[in-house]
Amino acid sequence: MNVLGIDGGASSTKWVVMNDKGICVAEGQSDPLTGHLLEMKTRSQAFDALEKIVRQATHYDPAAVVAGVSGLDAGSVEAEQVHVYLQGTLRMAYTQVEVYNDMDLNYRANFAPGAGIVVYAGTGSVAYHIAQNGSVVRAGGHGYLIGDEGGGFWIGKTALRQVVRWRDEGSDDLQRPLARLLYEQIGGSDWSGVRAYVYGGGRQAVAALAPSVGQAALAGDEAAKTILLEAGLELASLAQTLLRRLGQLPVVLCGGALRISPLIQQSAQSQVEMTLSSASSAETAARMALEGVRG
């Protein structure tokens, strides 16, 4: 007997197939998967990503599936849509499928309910706590239009804003590592190309610039270093918000944005005591599915 765990994020989706002994027998990565299903384009992309995962996972005949999806809350209309899709395509009973917010999985990968705070920095950012009664207390996670400070999109946007400001001021921005690396990734420095890259590619395209900020910092670019240090301070601020509400609890820092540069982690840890975690949410989802099958 096998089960399937899915961790859907704004940059990529990871999945794991686990057997009844708790051993991972297959894993993979697919396209981004978010719960923002209000727009037709985003909805189509989300179900395309699920279709790719299902196509690969069906070879292992999973008996149950637990999915965590970024920007989606358990019990919402969007969660029900994902639930029904997985149930139908995997030919499962309704009770064999569970759909959560991806942070529910992330939290359970690191803490038992009530035991701590998770600060996550991926494409977006959030501080998250699940109480012993199952209720959620959070700070941040408000999406890229009004928040997500310290996450990958915010880093890419802040860096790009600095670069176009240099260009507007008439400075020789190509002498700066940050500008050179961003323009290289975008494919040119003219405004029409930058505009097409940003507004044609949207959130994912801007977040994809974040690793170049880390490279620029390594090359000694002071503006890039400042952005990364500020990202760490923003993540620490999220933790401090929940610590003030909940009292002293252990704090875990995790997420793909931390791979951009060690400066982010160092800056965050200079303000708040945090432990770095690389626990797998996809594996946690699979273990939850296995526990559900076992009863």
210-237 confidence digits (pLDDT tens): 999 999 999 999 999 999 999 999 999 9
Query: Which CATH number, 3.30.420.40, 3.40.309.10, 2.60.40.1510, 3.90.1530.10, labels domain 2-109+280-294?
Result: 3.30.420.40
b/e per residue 76-86 (b: at least 16 CB within 10 A)? eebbebbbebb
Q: Is the pLDDT of residue 27 over 80?
A: yes
Q: Is the pLDDT of residue 5 over 60?
A: yes
Report pLDDT for 35: 62
| Listed residue (252, 286, 10, 295) closest to 152, CA to CA | 10
Q: How much helix, strand and coil, in percent to the nearest 5, is found in the chain?
A: 55, 20, 25
Residue 33 pLDDT class (50, 70, 90 cuts): confident
| Listed residue (6, 4, 7, 20) closest to 295, CA to CA | 20
Q: Is the pLDDT of residue 295 over 70?
A: no
Can you give the pTM of this predicted structure?
A: 0.84
Q: Determine which helix (DSSP H) or strand (DSSP E) holds 86, and give its type and residue range.
A: helix 77-90
Report pLDDT for 128: 95
| Listed residue (48, 102, 93) closest to 285, CA to CA | 102
Backbone angles phi, psi at 19, to 5 degrees: -90, 180
| 261 close to 284: Cβ distance less than 8 angstroms | no
Task: Between 234 and 202, name the one with better pLDDT.
Answer: 234
Q: Determine which helix (DSSP H) or strand (DSSP E) holds 49, and give its type and residue range.
A: helix 40-57
User: HEC states along 197-246?
Assistant: HHHHHHHHHHHCCHHHHHHHHHCCCHHHHHHHHHHHHHHHHHHHHHHHHH
Torsion of CA 236, 237, 241, 246, to 10 degrees: 10
pLDDT tens track for 125-142: 999 999 999 899 999 988
Q: What are the domain boundaries of the chain?
A: 2-109+280-294
pLDDT tens track for 104-116: 888 988 999 999 9
pLDDT tens track for 139-160: 998 888 888 899 999 999 999 9
The rounded distance, in Å, linking the Cα atoms of 181 and 204 is 17
Average pLDDT for 160-176:
88
| Listed residue (157, 151, 260, 149) closest to 206, CA to CA | 157
| 49 close to 13: Cβ distance less than 8 angstroms | yes
pLDDT tens track for 275-286: 999 888 888 889
Q: Is the pLDDT of residue 38 over 60?
A: no
Average pLDDT for 44-51:
79
Q: Is the pLDDT of residue 43 over 80?
A: no
| 99 close to 74: Cβ distance less than 8 angstroms | yes
